[in-house]
Amino acid sequence: MKFIFGLGNIGEKYDQTRHNIGFMAIDAFAAAHNATFSPTKQFALTAKIQVDGVPVMLVKPTTYMNDSGKAVRAILDYYDGDVTDIMVLADDMDMPFGKLRFRAKGSAGGHNGLKSIMAHTDSQTFLRLKFGLGHPEHEKQVVINYVLGQFSKAESEIVETMLARSTQAISDWINGATIAELSNQYNG
């Protein structure tokens, strides 16, 4: 089984915020496959689907971003999964706004959700699909206010393109595309 974890914060006040683009991406993928999420005892909302014959579990941790690893560990343990079978969808402020990037391993780069997953899985080697948010336009704008802020109307149009591209990229991964192939097609 393949596991796709969209990172975000639960609650209406976080809907459609920059930090929740992982939730937005997994919701877009779920909508493309008519999937419905249900609560579980593994600290997450999940949806089980088949994509071209491959079983896939879509996961939205309910632990809040900074403790996402708790849900990842619980899901992998319950379903006897491995970090080699996961893709994590997360935001990245160090990438230009609107860009996608696949990474197969590496540090958390200051992202607390990724730090939590690394701590709970004892691994830095898992596939990530990162969504570029860029940095605040004004130096005085506090980073936390930026990532927890809503997308502007102009940004929302770019986000829709990112979500459409990520839905295709996730499908390609499920269908066996390698990290090199994914990187060549979607990075940048």
Partner residues linked to 3 by β-bridges: 57, 86
CB 43 within 8 A of CB 64: no
DSSP state of 151: P
As a whole number of angstroms, the distance between CA 118 and CA 15 comes to 25
Sheet arrangement for strand 127-132 = 38-39, 44-51, 54-61, 2-6, 86-92, 127-132, 100-103
Q: What are phi and psi of 182, to 5 degrees?
A: -65, -45
Q: Which of 19, 120, 135, 138 is catalytic?
A: 19
The yes-or-no answer on residue 111 being catalytic is no
Q: Which residues participate in catalysis according to the annotation?
A: 19
